[in-house]
Amino acid sequence: MAVVAAQTRWLVPPLPSPIGFQSINDDRFSQLRRQAMQLVESRPRQGLQFVEEHRDASFQIHCKGVPVLWLERRSPHVLLQTSLDAKQRAPAVLQMRAILQWQLEPLDYLEQVLAGVPEPVLMDRVLQMLAGEVPDGVRCGMP
């Protein structure tokens, strides 16, 4: 049963692992947006796509059509999410997540809870470990 669940896991969009941060102004958001766009543009043959949800409010990076990184401005915080399989699916996204996180001020635990940022679900992490490698056809770039 676990093997079947692990094999089908790569066929559906993976669940995100969110982190909450303090609110940012329009200029800072535009700067972060440009950095994410540059990551995608610097890897034209890797299958990454920059997807803008709402200008000055949210964007995503997709790997062959599957979201792997999200940045969303919500009042009064910013939510940064990466898929649980980003390391296997699109390793370059982890570097981008680190760059974005470094420029943002994290919410403390209570603020995270009040902002509705859920705790990572243990079962998702267990399924991730059981799933093993992401098939080559759904990867973006080299691990």
Q: Residue 3: its pLDDT value, please?
A: 44
Q: Residue 143: its pLDDT value, please?
A: 45
pTM for the full model?
A: 0.75
Asked if residue 143 is part of any domain, the answer here is no
Give the residue numbers spanning the domain of 44: 2-138
Asked if residue 93 is part of any domain, the answer here is yes
- Report the percent of the chain where pLDDT is more than 70: 73
Q: Is the pLDDT of residue 24 over 70?
A: yes
SS3 content of the chain, % helix, strand, coil (to 5): 40, 25, 35
Asked if residue 99 is part of any domain, the answer here is yes
Token readout for 130 is 């059981």
Mean pLDDT of 54-69: 90
Read off the pLDDT band of 76 (50, 70, 90).
confident
- Choose between 118 and 104: higher pLDDT: 104
Asked if residue 100 is part of any domain, the answer here is yes
Q: Residue 45: its pLDDT value, please?
A: 86
Q: Is the pLDDT of residue 85 over 90?
A: no
Asked if residue 101 is part of any domain, the answer here is yes
Picking from 52, 125, 46, 60, the residue whose alpha carbon sits closest to that of residue 91 is: 46
SS3 category, 124: helix
Asked if residue 37 is part of any domain, the answer here is yes
- Number of independent structural domains in the chain: 1
Asked if residue 16 is part of any domain, the answer here is yes
Asked if residue 77 is part of any domain, the answer here is yes
Token readout for 75 is 């009042």
DSSP-assigned letters across all residues of 3-30: HHHHHHHTTSPPPEEEEEEE---HHHHH
